[in-house]
Amino acid sequence: MPDPRLIVQNALKTGIAIPAFNVPYLPMIEPVVLAVADQDSFAMIETARLEWFKFEAGGPEAVAKEFFRWQDPDHVSLHLDHIPVIDEDGQRVDYLADIQQAIDLGYHSVMVDGSRLPLDENISATRQVVELAHKAGIPCEAELGAIVGHEARPLPPYDEMFASGEGFTKVEEARSYVVESGCDWLSVAIGNIHGAISVGLKDQKKVPARLDLDRLQSLARVTSVPLVLHGGSGIPQEYVLASFKNGIAKINIATEIRQAFESALQSTGKISVAQDAVYDRAVWLIGGFLGLAGIQGLVTQGMP
């Protein structure tokens, strides 16, 4: 298995990003793996805690079992996404136990999300997870800033949020956060939003979010680590591709393939048709929208 740390670092040097696909339904894993391999790309298959409770991913063990059933080590790795210290419902989470379980199951990288904590507590929580991850020889992603969308409440008007910059990652905090926490990758808030997960909102089309590229450039300069763009679905292509040239080396995609799966399953009742829809959407995203077909050799260069 290629080292995800080196793969993301190679993506950063090359001015591209590694797509990371969330799989809220286990049958989505096979078609995503096939799409990545057929495009000769590299991607992460990832699962977030909310997908175990709000959808049907089942949990880290269920996802790992399905991933290793279909894995193609030359093209995909397994990432633990969004394990919050405080979740979208405001509840405290036993995040260290969840992350240790994933490490024990063989996940290749992990994420802790302390973004709902005060800065000093976020640093402390992240440092704990970094120690667990590095002890196991894998990288740790963290988050600074508030990337909204997973809460049950409707979002305020997007233009108001963007204009205010409320919740955006602060450049003056980012440098010390990375140094003091020791995180390998940093998820930043620069106008991106998550797709809604609450009933009544999750089927809606995402707002076409914009990105504050000037802020992104500053964050890349002061942190000197690969940055991560969450909420990648629905962002106009010009912003996404520009972000790759300005420090984003990993992009999370959930809504695009989740809605393809749900829509096909609802209209036909057939999992195989829903899987085909996921495959087709993933192929389009990788090769058409993101321009990441054929990158496997670039991001795995220098590896055995």
Structural tokens at position 72? 């193609």
The span from the CA of 175 to the CA of 301, in Å, is 29
Query: Could you give the C-alpha distances from 205 to 131, 196, 208, 227, in angstroms and in order?
Result: 39, 9, 9, 26
Query: Could you give the C-alpha distances from 136 to 45, 70, 110, 179, 297, in angstroms and in order?
Result: 19, 23, 11, 20, 26
Active-site residue 81, yes or no?
yes
Comparing CA positions, the residue from 20, 19, 32, 18 lying closest to residue 261 is 32
Name the phi and psi angles at 97, rounded to 5: -65, -45
Catalytic residue among 3, 81, 113, 184: 81
Could you tell me how many residues make up the chain?
304
Residue with tokens 């790759």: 244
For the CA atoms of 45, 221, 288, 22, the dihedral, rounded to the nearest 10 degrees, stands at 20
> Cα–chain-centroid distance for residue 78?
11
Residue with tokens 């997870």: 129
Structural tokens at position 70? 């279909």
Give the catalytic positions in this structure.
Answer: 81
